[in-house]
Amino acid sequence: MTPRRHCVWDWNGTILDDNQARLLAVNESLAGLQIAPIDIQQYRDTYCVPVPDFYARLLGRPLTRDEWLTADDTYQASYRRHLPHTSHLMGGARAALLSWIARGGTQSLLSLHTHEHLLAELSHHGVGTLFRLAEGRRGPTGGTKAAAMRRHVQNLGLPPQQIVAIGDSADDALAAEQAGIAVVLYAGGSHCEAALTATGAPVVHTLADAIDLALRKPSPTRPMARVGAAA
């Protein structure tokens, strides 16, 4: 088996525990749509990408364009307001990042978080220098990571067989599949474990276990099970 030498990490919900900020922001945006607030378990059971589909699940109907724009504006402003006071690195995240380097690997970061805010958060938490490359979202909100992952893998200039992704969502699994790289999913972030397991990708409960499995997981040989729009 080709040795795994590079890891592409997800940020939100994987390295950064921002679940509380996400929940507060979602509930503020739902209030504007006259929808009752949800709890963290409802969030993790329902969340999916593209994000407008997540709101559609909660409303029981698709959002209009104006509703989506208003909800997203409210969410983004609320998230930025709450994030500094409610977020922190996931338990074991710093140790996992250092462990990968100690085992001779390189690592990068690919996030759907706004690029400039991502770089600021990496600096704030003191982990920015641990990544060979860090890329956030530069386009519209609400989409999937698949196209960005394909570009990211190409920019790394490494054989896909040497790369593994670690993330917390079904969208991370789909993006890795489309980029032709292996993936390990962490069950402590935005998605419930059932949604992660439904992708067919391996699921772990600690980032230390994610590292151990990433080092030995075979490269993908067949498409994963599809789970609709869930991500």
Name the residue ranges covered by the structural domains of the chain: 6-18+89-216, 19-86
Q: What pLDDT shows up at residue 144? A: 87
Query: Rounded CA gap, 180 and 208, in Å?
Result: 24
| The amino acid at 221 | T
Average pLDDT score over the chain: 91
The predicted pLDDT at position 185 comes to: 97
Question: 158 and 5 in contact (C-beta within 8 Å)?
Answer: yes
Rounded Cα–Cα distance for residues 47 and 54 (Å):
5
CB-CB contact of 18 with 86 (8 Å): yes
DSSP string, 151-162: HHHHHHTS-GGG
How much is the pLDDT for 226? Answer: 38
So what CATH class is 19-86?
mainly alpha
Taking the model in full, what pTM does it have?
Answer: 0.90
CA distance 73 to 211: 36
The two domains 6-18+89-216 and 19-86 share their CATH topology (first three levels equal): no
Name the architecture of domain 6-18+89-216. 3-Layer(aba) Sandwich (3.40)
Give CA–CA dist 28/14, Å, rounded: 23
Ranges of residues in the chain whose predicted pLDDT is under 50? 221-231
